[in-house]
Amino acid sequence: MCLLTCHSNGVKFLGDPVYLDIRVCVFPSCDFRSSGIPYKQLTVGVPKEVFLNERRVALSPAGVQALIKQGFNVVVESGAGEAAKFSDDHYVAVGASIRDTKAVLASDLVVKVRAPCFNPVLGLHEAELLKEGSTLVSFIYPAQNRDLMEQLSQRKATVLAMDQVPRITIAQGFDALSSMANIAGYKSVVLAANNFGRFFTGQITAAGKVPPAKVLIIGGGVAGLAAAGTARAMGAVVRGFDTRAAALEQFKSLGAEPLEVDVKESGEGQGGYAKEMSKEFIEAEMKLFAKQCLDIDILISTALIPGLTIAKRIQISDLPQLVAAFHSLVGLAAVLTCVAEYMVEYPHFATDPAANLTKIVAYLGTYIGGVTFSGSLVAYGKLQGILNSAPLLLPGRHVLNASLMAASVGGMVPYMLDPSYTMGLTCLGSVSALSAVMGVTLTAAIGGADMPVVITVLNSYSGWALCAEGFLLNNNLLTIVGALIGSSGAILSYIMCVAMNRSLANVILGGYGTSSTGTGKPMEITGTHTEVTVDQTVEMIREAQSIIITPGYGLCAAKAQYPIADLVKMLKEQSKEVRFGIHPVAGRMPGQLNVLLAEAGVPYDMVLEMDEINEDFPETDLVLVIGANDTVNSASQEDPNSIIAGMPVLEVWKAKQVVVMKRSLGVGYAAVDNPIFYKPNTAMLLGDAKKTCDALQAKVRELSQ
C-alpha cells in the first residue's frame, strides 16, 4: 500500500510500507499520465454500496461522462445508482459499461462512498476483491479501520482517503464533506420555514404590514453560510455569529448582520476550524445569545460541538445502569414534549373538539413519562450502588401508591372540563409531580434481585411514552417504534416473571416470595461445606469429560469473562464437551450474560438457556458455578416455605460434581441460604471470581503445554 505525502510539486511515493495512520492528499497536478499509462488503458470501477441503508453512489452519470471524455474506461456495477435515482440505462447512455461486482472491484481505479466492507451476497470482503496494486478513492477513516488498512496494505493498494484531505485552498476541489454540509444548511432553513407561523419575507397590505422573520445563525462554516444565503434569499433578516473574523466577513457578504462580543479574541484554529475560546469569551458569548434570543424568531446552530465518547467508556458489565439512565432520558423527554405540545396546540382545543384526543394523550404521556423518569433514576442508583439494593418497604406503601394513582386520574377531570390555559398547565404540572413520586415509591420497593424485570418494565414504559410523543408530534415512526418497544418490553417482563414463578404485579408492587411460597417456617440447613483449592479444581477439570459453566452476576461484576473464554477454548482443544447454562434472570438485565460471553468470544452455540440444558445435568461430570446463587438454589424445589419456592432454577446439584466459585457462603439478592453449598457433591472455591478464573486459566495452560 503506497503512502502519499504532500509536496509543492505534487505527490511523492514513499515505497510500500505497512503504515496504518495514513494521511493522504490529492493535487490536481497529479495524474496517471505522469507514470506513462494512457487514460484509455485505465478502467474506473463504480461498485454498488453494500453498507446498510447507504443510498449514495460514488459517481453520477455526469461524473462518468466527464471521465469518459478524458479517455478513461468506466465500468459500473448493475444497480449501483438505483437508490440514488440513476438507472443502469443512464450510465450506458453516457458510455459506461455495466458489469458484475467482481469485475468492477477488479478495476485499476475504484471509487466508493463508504470504506470497503463485507459483501453479504458474495460472502467476501470488498478489499479482497481489489486488484493488486490498484487505486482506491473513498472515505476510509484509517484511525477507526486499522484492520481494513492492513487488508489494503496486503493488496498493495494506493489509497486516496477523502476524509484525510486537508482543508487548504489547493485541495478545495476534493472537499467531499462540504457538499453534505451545504445541504444541511439549506435544509435547516426549509424545515424552519415549514414550522414557522408566517412568511419569512415581510408583507405589506392595505390592512397593515407583517415584519420579516429574524434568523440568527451560529457558526459560519459551510452549513452556516448556506443557511444564511437561503434565509436571506427568502426575505428574512439574518444575523450571524462566529468566533473567526473571516467567517464574519463572509456573513456580511451574504447580506447578513455579523454579531460580535466585547472580548477581543481570535477564534482562528488549525485547518480552517475554530479553536476553543477562553472562559471570558464564552461568558460574553452566552450574554449575547441570551439577548438575541429575546428578539429573534428562529435560531439555527451549525457549529460542531465536540462531545464525549460515552459509549466507548461503558463496560459491558455496566450496561444495565446505562439502559436505566437512557430510560430516564426517554421519560423526561416525554414529559417535556407533552407539556410543550399542549402549550403549542392550546389555541385549537377551544375550537376543535377532535383536539381533545390530543389533550388526553398529552396528559397520559406526561404521567407515563414521569413514572419512567424517576423510576429509572432509582433503578440506576440501585444498580450503580449509589442506593441500597434492598427493597424500601414504606409503611402503607400500597395505600400511598393507590392514592397517587387516584390523584393522577382525578386530575384529568378539571384538566378536561376547564378549558383555561392556566388550569391545563397546572394539571400537567401536578401529574408530573405525582407520577414522579409514584415512580420513586414503586421502584424503591423492588429489591436488587428483581432488577432484570424492572429494566424490562421500564423499557415498556419508555416505549409507551415514546408512542405518546409520536402521536402528539404526528410522527408515524416514533409511534410505531414506541408501540414495538412497549409491547416487546411487556412480553419480556411476563416471560421473566414466569421464569421466577411470580406475577408481574407481585414484582412491580415490591412483593415478597413466589406464588408457591408456603406459610410455614423455612427449612433449616444442616451440614458442613467442603472447600477446595485451585489445584484441586484443575484436577477435577482435567478428569471431567463433560463440563457445564453456569455464570451469574458475580461474573459480570468481576469482569471474569475473558479468562473463562480462554479456559473454555483450551478445554475444547482437549476434546472436552463444554457448554454454558444461562438462567433467564441471571445478571441485572435480560441477556446480560449472553452479551458478556459474546463480547469475550464465546461461540453462540455453546450458550444454552435453562430449559435447554436442565435435563443434561445428571449426565454431566462437572459443573462450574461462577458468581451465581439464587439461580442455582435448590431450596426452590426442596423447601416449600422458601420465598423462592417453585422458582425454576438451574438444577446444578444433579451433576456428578459441582464447584461453586464465589466470595463467601453469603446469601444472594433474595437473601435465602443455598442448600447446595452443603451437599456432598459440592465443593466451594472461595475468592474473587476474576482472580480465581485467572488462576484456573494459568494452571490449565501450564499443564496443557
Domain ranges of the chain: 4-173, 181-187+212-301, 314-491, 534-704
Please tell me whether residue 594 adopts helix, strand or coil conformation. helix
Q: How far apart are CA 124 and CA 641, in angstroms?
A: 59
The x, y and z cell numbers of residue 441, run together, are 415509591
Q: What is the pLDDT of residue 35?
A: 56
State the pLDDT confidence band at 172, using cuts at 50, 70 and 90. Answer: low
Question: For residue 158, which of 184, 131, 192 has the smallest C-alpha distance?
Answer: 131
Q: How far apart are CA 573 and CA 576, in angstroms?
A: 7
Exposure pattern of 247-273 as b/e (b: 16+ CB <10 Å)? bbebbeebebebbebeeeeebeeeeee
- CATH: 3.40.50.1220, 3.30.43.10, 1.10.3720.10, 3.50.50.60. Which one for 534-704? 3.40.50.1220
Q: How far apart are CA 526 and CA 469, in angstroms?
A: 57
Q: What is the pLDDT of residue 328?
A: 92
Cβ neighbors of 26 (< 8 A, separation 6 or more) are: 4, 11, 160, 165, 171, 174
- Determine what percent of the chain is predicted with pLDDT higher than 90: 47
Is the pLDDT confidence value at 24 over 70? Answer: no
Domain 4-173, what architecture? 3-Layer(aba) Sandwich (3.40)
Q: What is the pLDDT of residue 387?
A: 85
Query: Which amino acid is it at 393?
Result: L
CB-count exposure of residue 675 (10 Å: 0-12, 13-18, 19+): buried
Is the pLDDT confidence value at 15 over 80? Answer: no
Is the pLDDT confidence value at 705 over 80? Answer: no
Region 301-315 average pLDDT: 65
669 is catalytic: yes
Q: Which residues pair with 581 in a beta bridge?
A: 608
Question: Which has more pLDDT, 332 or 265?
Answer: 332
Are β-strands 4-7 and 10-13 bridged in parallel, bridged antiparallel, or unpaired? antiparallel
Q: Which residues pair with 291 in a beta bridge?
A: none
Of 254-258, 384-388, 400-404, the one with minimum mean pLDDT is: 384-388
513 in Cβ contact with 528 (< 8 Å): no
CA atoms lying within 13 Å on the CB side of residue 160: 20
DSSP string, 501-527: T--HHHHHTT--S-TT--SSPPPPP-S
For the stretch 490-542, pLDDT in tens is: 998 888 787 777 777 877 776 554 444 445 576 777 778 899 999 999 999 99
The x, y and z cell numbers of residue 165, run together, are 484531505
CB-count exposure of residue 306 (10 Å: 0-12, 13-18, 19+): exposed
DSSP string, 134-162: -EEEE---TTT-HHHHHHHHHTT-EEEEG
Is the pLDDT confidence value at 468 over 60? Answer: yes
Region 450-474 average pLDDT: 88
Q: For the chain, how many helices (H) and strands (E)?
A: 24, 22
Task: Give CA angle at 600 (596, 601), nearest 5°.
Answer: 120
DSSP string, 106-118: TSSEEE-SSPP-E
Same topology, domains 4-173 and 181-187+212-301? Answer is yes
Q: How far apart are CA 121 and CA 450, in angstroms?
A: 44
Please tell me whether residue 347 adopts helix, strand or coil conformation. helix
Q: How far apart are CA 431 and CA 7, in angstroms?
A: 67
Please tell me whether residue 341 adopts helix, strand or coil conformation. helix
| Catalytic residue chosen out of the listed positions 421, 553, 562, 663 | 553
Please tell me whether residue 30 adopts helix, strand or coil conformation. coil
| Catalytic residue chosen out of the listed positions 39, 421, 669, 678 | 669
The x, y and z cell numbers of residue 134, run together, are 490498484
Question: For residue 392, which of 379, 403, 405 has the smallest C-alpha distance?
Answer: 379
- Determine what percent of the chain is predicted with pLDDT higher than 70: 88
Region 573-583 average pLDDT: 91
588 is catalytic: yes
Backbone angles phi, psi at 336, to 5 degrees: -65, -40
Is the pLDDT confidence value at 16 over 70? Answer: no
Cβ neighbors of 148 (< 8 A, separation 6 or more) are: 115, 116, 127, 140, 142
Is the pLDDT confidence value at 10 over 80? Answer: no
Q: What is the pLDDT of residue 11?
A: 33
Is the pLDDT confidence value at 167 over 70? Answer: no
Q: How far apart are CA 433 and CA 427, in angstroms?
A: 10
Q: How far apart are CA 621 and CA 628, in angstroms?
A: 19
496 in Cβ contact with 451 (< 8 Å): no
Q: How far apart are CA 222 and CA 185, in angstroms?
A: 8
414 in Cβ contact with 422 (< 8 Å): no
CATH of domain 181-187+212-301: 3.40.50.720
Mean pLDDT of the chain: 84
696 in Cβ contact with 567 (< 8 Å): yes
| Catalytic residue chosen out of the listed positions 99, 114, 232, 588 | 588
Element (H, E) at 608: strand 607-609
553 is catalytic: yes
Biggest alpha carbon–alpha carbon distance for the chain: 100
Query: Which amino acid is it at 624?
Result: L
Is the pLDDT confidence value at 77 over 80? Answer: yes
For the stretch 618-673, pLDDT in tens is: 999 999 999 888 889 888 888 887 777 778 889 999 999 999 998 888 776 666 78
Backbone angles phi, psi at 179, to 5 degrees: -60, -40
The x, y and z cell numbers of residue 674, run together, are 443455598
The x, y and z cell numbers of residue 132, run together, are 493488486
State the pLDDT confidence band at 89, using cuts at 50, 70 and 90. Answer: very high
